[in-house]
Chains A and B, each alone.
Chain A
C-alpha cells in the first residue's frame, strides 16, 4: 500500500518535471522565432487570423471567401476565386473588386497586378495574375464596391 503511494508521488514528480521542461523548451524556441529582426516592425497576426476565410470586411458590409484549386505556392502565377456575400449571407453579384496586397514585414507589394477577370455568378469572381514572390506572411486585400457600399477585406495568407 505504502509502496504504491511512493510510486504515485514519484510519477507525479516526473510528470511535473517533464511538463516544466517541455514548456521551457517550447518557450525558448518561440522567443527565438519572435526575436527575428523584421524590417518594418509589423507584427504577424495570430494563427486564427490566417486562411482563405470566410472573412468579414473592415466595416462588416461583406463576407468574402477565397478558393484556390491548388494550394497557393510561391513564385507561380495562380488563379483564385472569391465569393462575396453580404452580412446576411446573400450573394453579391454586381461587385466591383480590385486587388492589392503585399508583405507587411518587408514593406513591398505584390509583384504582379492581379485583377478580376470573370464574374462567375452567385457572388463568385475569378482573380487571375496572382503571384507571391516568397514564402511567409502575405496580405491579400480586396477593395469591394457593391450595393452595400465600399469596403475592404484583408486576408492573411501564409505561403
Chain B
C-alpha cells in the first residue's frame, strides 16, 4: 500500500516535471506559446460582414471593383488609378514616403491587406468603411483629382451593363455636366452647386457605388502564410522547427513579445490592435502640422459617407461611432497601428514615411524621443545593438505571399 502511494507520488512528480519542461519547447513557457498562437494567421477569424455595404460579398461587385481599381480614367489627368499607389506587385503600396497622384499628398500610402477588418481607415481613422475610404482619394485634389460627376459619367459610358447588374438602373445623367462635385476646384464646385438636390443625389449614388464595388474587391485582399506562422504551427505539432526560424529570429521573437513591448500595439493575427497611438515620430517640417487621430476622430463623425449616413446600407446601430473616443489629449498626433505582416516589404515607414529602414524604426523605439505635440507613449527600451538586429530579423519572418495580388498582376500582364 505504502509502495503504491509512493509510486503514485513519483509518477505525479515526473508528470509535473514533464509538463514544465515540455512547456519550454524552444524555451517557450505555455503562456508564451498561447501568445504566439494568438498571433498566428490560423487564428484569424472569418471576414466579418460589412453591414454598410450590401454588395460587399457579391462576386460581380468585386469583379467590377477590381477593374475600377486599375482604371486610370478615374482621375483628372487620366493617369492615376487606385493601383498607382496601391501596387499589387509591391504589397499594395508604392515604396515612397509621400504618395503621389496628380499631386503629392502629406501621407504615406497604406497597404490594403486585411483592411476590411479595421474599424477605421486611413492613418487618422477619418473613415469607417472600406468604401467610404475609397471615395476620399477620388476627390482629393492631390490624389485622383477628379469629380464625382466625372466618375459617374465614366461608369455610365464604360461600365453600364456591369454596374446595372449589381446596383440596378443608372440615373439619367444627360443634364449633368462632365465635371462637378463638392471639391476644391472652384469651377467644378460651382457646377455642383447649380445642380438640383435630386441630381446631386443621383450622381452621389453612382459615386458611392463605385466605392462599394472597389471595397468588394479590396476586402478579399488578405495576408498569406509567413515563416512565423509555419514556426508556430510546427511548435504546436511538435515537428522539427529549427529549419523554419534561425536562433536570431527566435531571439527577436522573444524580445518582441517580451522586453521590447511590441505586442502592446502589434498583437493578434494581424499584428495590430487597429487603435491609434502617439509614438513621438517627428512630423515632416515641410508639411502643415498634422494632429492625426485628434482630427480624424472628429472627421469620421461628420463624414458624408459614414455608417450613419444616408449612403450606408447599415440598418443597425453604428457602434464604432457610438462609442468612439474623441477630444482626448492622447489622440493628438496619434496614428493608426499598422499591421506588421509583410512589413519588411514596404519601406519607408510611419505616417509620412519618416524612416527609410526597419533599423531606423527600431532605433526610434529604442530611444523613444519626446513628441513634437501631444505625448509619446513610448519609453526607452534600452536594447543592445545585437537585440535590435534580432528584432529586425524576426520582423523579416512576417512576410508572406499576398494571394490576390498575384492573380491581379497575372491578369494585368495577360
Contact = CB atoms under 8 A, between A and B. Distances in A.
Given A39-B379, A134-B267, A113 B323 contact: yes
A129 B17 contact: no
Interface residues on B, range: 35 or more
A113 B319 contact: no
6 contacts: A15-B9, A29-B29, A36-B258, A36-B259, A111-B273, A129-B319
B21 A74 contact: no
Given A29-B29, A77-B323, A135-B38, 12 more contacts: A11-B6, A14-B10, A15-B9, A25-B17, A33-B31, A77-B119, A107-B377, A108-B330, A112-B324, A128-B322, A133-B274, A134-B263
B319 A77 contact: yes
A15 B259 contact: no
A18 B13 contact: yes
Nearest to B258: A36
A106 interface: yes
A26 interface: yes
Interface of B: 2-3, 6-7, 9-10, 13-14, 16-17, 20-21, 24, 29, 31, 35, 38, 119, 258-259, 261, 263-265, 267-268, 273-275, 319-320, 322-325, 330, 377, 379
Contact of B267 (A36, A108, A135): A135
Contacts of A75: 267-268, 273-274
A26 B273 contact: no
Interface string A35-50: 0110100000000000
Interface string A126-137: 001101011100
Contact of B268 (A11, A12, A33, A74): A74
Contacts of A110: 325
A58 interface: no
B10 A18 contact: yes
B13 A15 contact: yes
B2 A22 contact: no
B328 to A, nearest CB: 8
Contact of B6 (A8, A33, A114, A128): A8
A39 B325 CA distance: 24
Nearest to B9: A15
A107 B264 CA distance: 11
B20 A29 contact: yes
Contacts of B6: 8, 11-12, 15
Interface residues of A, number: 37
Contacts of B320: 77
Given A14-B10, A75-B268, A113 B258 contact: no
A75 B38 CA distance: 12
A22 B9 CA distance: 13
Contacts of A37: 259
A87 interface: no
Interface in A1-19: 7-8, 11-12, 14-15, 18-19
Closest 5 CB pairs of A and B: A129-B323, A133-B273, A18-B13, A112-B323, A11-B6
A120 interface: no
A21 B20 CA distance: 11
Given A8-B2, A26-B20, A128-B323, A134 B264 contact: yes
Contacts of B379: 39
B20 A115 contact: no
Contact of B322 (A11, A15, A129): A129
Contacts of A111: 273, 275, 325
Contacts of A109: 330
B164 to A, nearest CB: 36
A16 to B, nearest CB: 10
Nearest to A132: B273
A11 B3 contact: yes
A31 B13 CA distance: 21
B71 to A, nearest CB: 34
Nearest to B260: A37
Contact of A11 (B10, B38, B274, B319): B10
A105 B185 CA distance: 50
Nearest to A134: B267
Contacts of A29: 20, 24, 29
Nearest to B14: A18
A126 B330 CA distance: 27
A25 B29 CA distance: 12
A25 B13 contact: no
Contacts of B7: 11
Most chain B CB inside 10 Å of its own CB: which residue of A15, A109, A114 = A15
Interface in A63-106: 74-75, 77, 106
Contacts of B273: 74-75, 111, 133-134
